[in-house]
Amino acid sequence: MGKFNKKKDGGIPAVNTAALPDIVFMLLFFFMVATVMRQNTLMIENNLPFADQVEKLDKKDLVMYIYAGKPSSNYKQFGTEAKIQLNDKFADVKDIAAFIAAERASKREELIPFLTTALKVDSEANMGLIGDIKQELRKVNALKINYTTKKGSVFGRN
Amino acid sequence: MAKRAAPEVNAGSMADIAFLLLIFFLVTTTIETDSGINRKLPPMEESEEDVIIKQKNIFTVLLNGKDQLLVEDELMELKDLRKAAVEFLDNGGDGSCDYCKGARDAASSDNPDKAIISLKNERETTYKTYIAVQNELVAAYNELRDTRAKALYGQTFTEMEADYKDVNWPGNKVKLKEKIEQIKVEYPQKLSEVQ
């Protein structure tokens, strides 16, 4: 019977980690594909509201982003009132016209009618600011807008 | 010369390198939200000629600075708004709308084409509430369109729109577009915002 008790030399065998790189690579590729590098550094709080009747924005390159919200904790010196952010800096309502013009100039002419303005506004902001933004957008004839929201039910979110 | 076997490359640290990259991408990832409620703003030019709209064809929704909701001069909870809007839009008071399933109340809207929802908010209203109200009103329209599309084509309106946007959808898109337009004509989205 000596044939069968060869493996008696004891100890737990080491776990085989040869497949570890494969697993890590798999995760790595997932995150590489899913990553979208942020275009703008946000200087405001941007906790989007929830809605469930949402439509997807299809053409990413035809979207102009306007952010609004109260300055985040690093920018306390700008006060606690909700502010607009265009590109990388705080802006005033009257800067929107110039921003839209610049965005339009950077696109091909035939694409201009398809440009959409996405409003990424913090859920705590008040409608006065949004009303001003909308009025300004109407003035420059940028009429397609999208209120960017997170997907979820609107109820029970207080 | 004797042929020597190439020495094996030590791949032991490959996992470390992969981890390093993985952690970098983990940290930098923000899954961007790119969906929302689409709206079209009214153009700027002032048309001075006032269109006369009967009071019964207007469904007024008022949001005050304390985020309270006043619908048709009555306080209402947000959760009841969708139902009230559906009832108003689907009323079909003048009988010209043969697909309406509403109460046909003469005091409410004439038909979906004439029915207008008017939304007014104050400067102090929070954005969150405004979006919630917008969402409920859009939901009311979608609900009506869905039931109508289901009765006509055996498919909900939302599914039809999703198919239309899907590049891999095998069906006839021209026909589908016609169907979508038909539903949109039957239940036009007339949501006006008071400045």
Å from B28 to nearest chain A CA? 7
Domain for residue B154, yes or no?
yes
Give the torsion through C-alpha atoms of A96, A47, A54, B108, to 10 deg. Answer: -80
Closest in A37, A126, A142 to B123, CB measured: A126
Domain for residue B139, yes or no?
yes
Domain for residue B95, yes or no?
yes
| Per-residue pLDDT at A5 exceeds 80 | no
Quick: pLDDT tens for B134-182.
899 999 999 989 998 988 888 888 888 888 888 888 888 888 889 889 8
Q: What is the pTM of this model?
A: 0.78
Q: Are B164 and B173 in contact (CB under 8 A)?
A: yes
Domain for residue B14, yes or no?
no
Which of B149, B148, B144, B164 has its CA nearest to residue B86? B144
Domain for residue B37, yes or no?
no
Instruction: Give the start-to-end residue ranges of the domains of chain A.
Output: 50-151
Give the torsion through C-alpha atoms of B86, B72, A144, A130, to 10 deg. Answer: -140
| Per-residue pLDDT at B48 exceeds 70 | no
Q: What is the pLDDT of residue B194?
A: 76
- The 10 Å Cβ neighbour count of residue B169 is 12
Q: Do the strands B69-71 and B58-63 form a parallel or antiparallel pair, or are they unpaired? A: antiparallel
Q: What is the pLDDT of residue A101?
A: 92
Q: Quick one: fold of A50-151?
A: Nucleotidyltransferase; domain 5 (3.30.420)
Angle at A112 between CA A108 and CA A114, to 5 degrees: 120
Contact A131 B14 (CB under 8 A): no
| Per-residue pLDDT at A8 exceeds 80 | no
Q: What does the alpha-carbon distance between residue A38 and residue A120 come to, in Å, rounded to a whole number?
A: 14
Residue window 66-105, chain A: list those with CB within 8 Å of chain B: none
| Per-residue pLDDT at A1 exceeds 80 | no
| Per-residue pLDDT at A48 exceeds 60 | yes
- The 10 Å Cβ neighbour count of residue B36 is 26
Closest in B37, B41, B121 to A51, CB measured: B37
- Structural domain total, chain B: 1
For A133, the token pair is: 């933004």
Q: What is the pLDDT of residue A153?
A: 84
Domain of residue B108 covers: 55-194
Percentage of chain B beyond pLDDT 70 is 93
| Complex ipTM | 0.74
| Per-residue pLDDT at B131 exceeds 80 | yes
- The 10 Å Cβ neighbour count of residue B8 is 6
| Per-residue pLDDT at A37 exceeds 80 | no
Percentage of chain A beyond pLDDT 70 is 90
Q: What does the alpha-carbon distance between residue B10 and residue B31 come to, in Å, rounded to a whole number?
A: 36
Which residue in chain A is spatially nearest to B140 when comparing CA positions?
A53
Q: What does the alpha-carbon distance between residue B25 and residue B163 come to, in Å, rounded to a whole number?
A: 33
Residue window 125-144, chain A: list those with CB within 8 Å of chain B: 125-128, 130-131, 134-135, 137-139, 141-144
Å from B53 to nearest chain A CA? 24
